[in-house]
Amino acid sequence: TTAEDWARSDHYHNSFLHTKDEILDAALKNSTANGLPEIAVSAAQGKFLNLLVSSIGAKRILEVGTLGGYSTIWLARALPNDGELITLELIEKHAKVAQENIDKANLTNKVKIIVGPAHESMQQLHPETPFDFIFIDADKKGNLDYFTEAKRLVRKGGVIIVDNVVRYGRVADPEYTDTNVEGVRRLLKGLKGDTDVEATTIGTVGDKGYDGYLYAVRK
């Protein structure tokens, strides 16, 4: 089975389960036009995040790694009227494009972008009400640091998702030692014996290749 077969599979399923979405299409188009890398979650993954947020009735979401705000829009759309999402992004340009996309999606009032290194931004957060849902999708070498802060910031029973933890199976293949793979390994080593959460990895395949989410629930 080739990458094209898996992309076709994704599009086939989406053709039954997703409706045409001009706002999300425009967000991707605007991101590409501004030179942002095409590394947003897939439509199926974005909708999955959206449904997870709805399932737990999340009102407060933290996202680590905004890029052009594509996953931000999927997540924020699942919030109730009084819900809010804070998203953390290092690069000013990405944040600017994301703000445009978020404004066009009519989510300006629910979403706040904080520009800067995510670990520092997280350390500066001391919310009165903890987050219900945290999505970690920034530089992979920071995964364990982000996860550690996420545990502090999420409520008991809240959900932490970390993206890209399978990486075509390379995380489990000793031949690979790049920083992304090592960042996921460091997270997994940190999670071994961690009694603060229960977690599992869900592998995914589709038009973004073979990858997976780490899904954790705070105890």
* Smallest gap from residue 119 Cβ to ligand SAM (A): 7
Nearer residue to ligand SAM within complex by CB, 43 or 216: 43
Nearer residue to ligand SAM within complex by CB, 7 or 39: 39
Which of 139, 182, 194, 207 binds ligand SAM (CB under 6 A)? It is 139
Tokens of 2: 């080739």
Confirm or reject binding of residue 70 to ligand SAM (CB under 6 A): yes
* Smallest gap from residue 40 Cβ to ligand SAM (A): 3
**Contacting ligand SAM within 23-52 (CB under 6 A):** 39-41
Confirm or reject binding of residue 142 to ligand SAM (CB under 6 A): yes
Confirm or reject binding of residue 145 to ligand SAM (CB under 6 A): no
SS3 179: helix
Contacts with ligand SAM, 112-131, as mask; x by CB under 6 A:
-----xx-------------
Confirm or reject binding of residue 149 to ligand SAM (CB under 6 A): no
Q: How far apart are CA 140 and CA 147, in angstroms?
A: 11
**Contacting ligand SAM within 88-107 (CB under 6 A):** 88-91, 94
Confirm or reject binding of residue 65 to ligand SAM (CB under 6 A): yes
Cβ count near 150 (within 10 Å):
25
Residue 219: which residues within 8 A CB-CB, separation 6 or more? 156, 195, 196, 197, 198
* Smallest gap from residue 39 Cβ to ligand SAM (A): 4
Name the helix (H) or strand (E) containing 85: strand 84-89
Q: If phi over 0 gives left and psi between -120 and 50 gives alpha, with beta otherwise, what is residue 85? A: beta
Half-sphere exposure of residue 172: CA atoms within 13 angstroms, side-chain side: 8
Confirm or reject binding of residue 183 to ligand SAM (CB under 6 A): no
Q: How far apart are CA 7 and CA 2, in angstroms?
A: 9
